[in-house]
Amino acid sequence: MRFLHHNQCLYSSFSKLSSLSSSFYLMGSFNLCKSSSLLFLSPLSSSSSSSSSSQRFFLYKSNSVLHGSFPVRPMSRGKAFSMKPNGVSSFTSHANVPRPPEFMENPLAEALSLTRLNILKKKLQELDIDAEFCVPGQTNHLLCPMCKGGDSGERALSLHISEDGGAAVWMCFRAKCGWKGRTLAFADGRSSHQISGQLTLKQKKRKITVESLQLEPLCDELVAYFAERLISKDTLLRNSVMQKRSNNQISIAFTYKRRGALISCKYRDVNKKFWQEANTEKIFYGLDDIDGASDIIIVEGEIDKLSMAEAGFHNCVSVPDGAPPSASQKDVPPVDQDTKYQYLWNCKDYLSKASRIILATDGDAPGQALAEEIARRVGRERCWRVKWPKKNEANHFKDANEVLMYLGPEALREVVDNAELFPIRGLFNFKNYFDEIDSYYHKKGGNEFGVPTGWKALNDLYNVVPGELTIVTGIPNSGKSEWIDALLCNLNESSGWKFVLCSMENQVREHARKLLEKRIKKPFFSARYGGAVERMSLDELEQGKQWLNDTFFLARCENESLPSINWVLDLAKAAVLRHGVSGLVIDPYNELDHQRPSSQTETEYVSQMLTKVKRFAQHHACHVWFVAHPRQLQNWSGGAPNMYDISGSAHFINKCDNGIVIHRNRDPESGPIDLVQVCVRKVRNKVAGTIGEAYLAYNRVTGEFLDTDESFRIEQRLKKSKF
């Protein structure tokens, strides 16, 4: 049978017999605590005879042998026992244990409770939480090991140990920290201290009174302190602000009452350190002032609540716990787990009667985060928020008391009276966009009418507007991709635009050749297609390569997989943010990886995909050209196809901002085969263009698209260069 050597005083009543024993052994496993049989302690002869009082005590069951989970072997006196129950880190003790009385009501339960507490404190110590003097069943205020209390060394870490000593939860209430977590003495031995863990420790709330807390009226010094902050004695009396003496210090006591009864109390010392009465219910400060009120003001601190009273607003309450460092991105937790904001749920009956809740939290980031968290719980639709006035060119006043001190009560009243509607995500007023509308009216952006294409024939029909989607279609080999490349070259030359190219049908070197020929206006090779026109030189090639590198960014899969639309848009977003690109080309639609669920039709998929593309374009002010091929045409007569002929869905024309068909004559008897017809079939923004057709001449040598009159001059120049 194995003995557990415990180093500390297991039974409080043992202290009366401290001179009898230096060792104590507990026989059996922890399952002993389940036994209902009477337990006795019997002396065991010591192996050492150096002292007549040196005895060891042996705990056993009166009617049967106790069998534990440990092997039968007594521990030697020379080495303390170290164990790991259920993964808990080992602990060692060296304290002498006094002899117990002859009979105890439940000694093993008390022993196990102390064992749990010791293990728990060991685990807290591993997290650098100093819980040595913390008492179970109470909330203790300690120095946070994460933030070290900031510059002031504030003891802002609130640690609560359950009454049985088996669990602990903690949270740092410094706005810039917010570290919180939990741990158990047993279970799996792990601590969740870097996530927002919740551990519900149900406990009976304390009943407190002014007398039990030994509160007293404010002294003249504290009244003078508040007077410096423009808070009168009448306001202090009305709000039951008191004081408490402890350790030769006087602290301000803010009494939290409900229907006149004292529920909790929060203290503040001269160093602006705060603490609250442990194990009391969390409610608003000034709760009785909003009973039945239709308008409620919520502030971040008790002094701000008093400042509102000086401005004539008594329908105001303060939160008890300050602000979080940032607003949570997760859903609001269930009520029983929403410990940080439990005061909102405890005061739900008061808040439910209000039709308007004005959030006057601090103007810093934590204060705004607090406003967001409150609005999420009480409903944004009935929330307003104050906008603190400017202190100087760079800063605003922080809170209600600052405004009261520097600008006076009338200015504070004006701030509250001018509170704005709390923003609801996705719901706006036109007022939110007045600056943008004014900028549009005065054409401050410079591209309100769109950027010209570079072809006079298209100036009245199609201009490129940032943030729009243009669908380009046409039968195969009609010049869709070549026309887009020429357009990009023109936009770069006139406006310095940069582009992302997701062109799955072009090899990189072929695409580079086409772009360079359009830029340099000379053929890349001395080949048949160039005729007798001089090839671009090495110097021109090097200059052109640098231009390619500065102007275009390639979105290409490095393996055999096909790119998805999400993959393309993610890369384009990175290019917009990193390189400042203004345009994206996706060429063509049918080369993308369309991961469409089996339950979704192609029409539904195309609609969803184009919505993503448009949102990207609008959000990043990036124009997108999307090439889509028409379906196989039946009984085609040779004319330009319709936008509704695009393969996949009519949504291509329904959802785009601009729809363009590129068509080239293929019958020499019907006209020049190098004459390209640009059919503008849809223009959503009438400021940027209109429906119509234009003709451009295609130069096969350089890949340029030219206005027809310009094409004639170029053709004459090329003919002369042959001789």
Residues 6+ apart with CB under 8 A from 286: 239, 305, 316, 317, 318
Output Rg (C-alpha) for the chain, integer angstroms.
Answer: 40
CA angle 453, 520, 721 (to 5 degrees): 110
Q: Which residue type occupies 594? A: H
CA distances (Å), 286 to each of 184, 255, 460, 580, 709, in order?
36, 9, 67, 53, 82
For 202-234, what is each residue's pLDDT tens digit?
567 889 999 999 999 999 999 999 999 999 999
Nearest CA to 265 among 273, 691, 153, 257?
A: 257
Question: Rounded to an integer, what is the distance from CA 195 to the centroid of its chain?
Answer: 14
Q: For strand 583-587 and strand 469-473, is the pairing parallel, antiparallel, or unpaired?
A: unpaired
Which of 105, 34, 102, 97 is closest to 68 using CA atoms? 34
Burial of 117 (0-12, 13-18, 19+ CB in 10 A): buried
Q: Nearest CA to 37 among 76, 55, 5, 63?
A: 63
Low-confidence ranges of the chain (pLDDT < 70): 1-113, 187-203, 633-635, 710-723
- Other C-beta atoms lying within 10 Å of the C-beta of residue 199: 16
User: pLDDT at position 65, please?
Assistant: 36
- Cα 374 to Cα 327: distance, rounded to the nearest angstrom: 10
Q: In this structure, are strands 167-172 and 157-161 parallel, antiparallel, or unpaired?
A: antiparallel
Whether residue 32 contacts residue 38, with contact meaning beta carbons closer than 8 Å, is answered with no
Burial letters for 407-440: b for 16+ Cβ neighbours within 10 Å, e otherwise?
Answer: eebeebbebbeebeebeeeeeeeeeeeeeeeeee
Question: Is the bond into 107 cis (omega within 30 degrees of 0)?
Answer: no
Specify the pairing of strand 583-587 against strand 623-627.
Answer: parallel
Using a 10 angstrom Cβ sphere, with 0-12 exposed, 13-18 middle and 19 or more buried, the burial of residue 577 is exposed
Amino acid at 183: T
Separation of alpha carbons 518 and 223, rounded Å: 82
Residue 112: per-residue pLDDT: 65
Strand, helix or coil for residue 649: coil
DSSP state string for 541-568: HHHHHHHHHHHEEE---SSSSPPPHHHH
Both structure tokens of 497: 């635009």
Contacts of 333 (CB under 8 A, 6+ apart): 198
Could you give the domains of the chain?
110-184 (no CATH), 211-421 (3.40.1360.10), 467-655 (3.40.50.300)
Predicted pLDDT of residue 89: 35
Residue 48 CA to its chain's centroid (Å):
65
pLDDT at 539: 96
* Cα–Cα distance, 219 to 351 (Å, whole number): 34
Task: Please check whether residue 471 is in contact with residue 626, taking contact to mean a CB–CB distance below 8 angstroms.
Answer: yes
pLDDT of the residue at 196: 38
pTM for the model: 0.55
Exposure b/e, 281-308, CB count within 10 A at least 16 = b: ebbbbbbebbeebebbbbbbbbbbbbbb
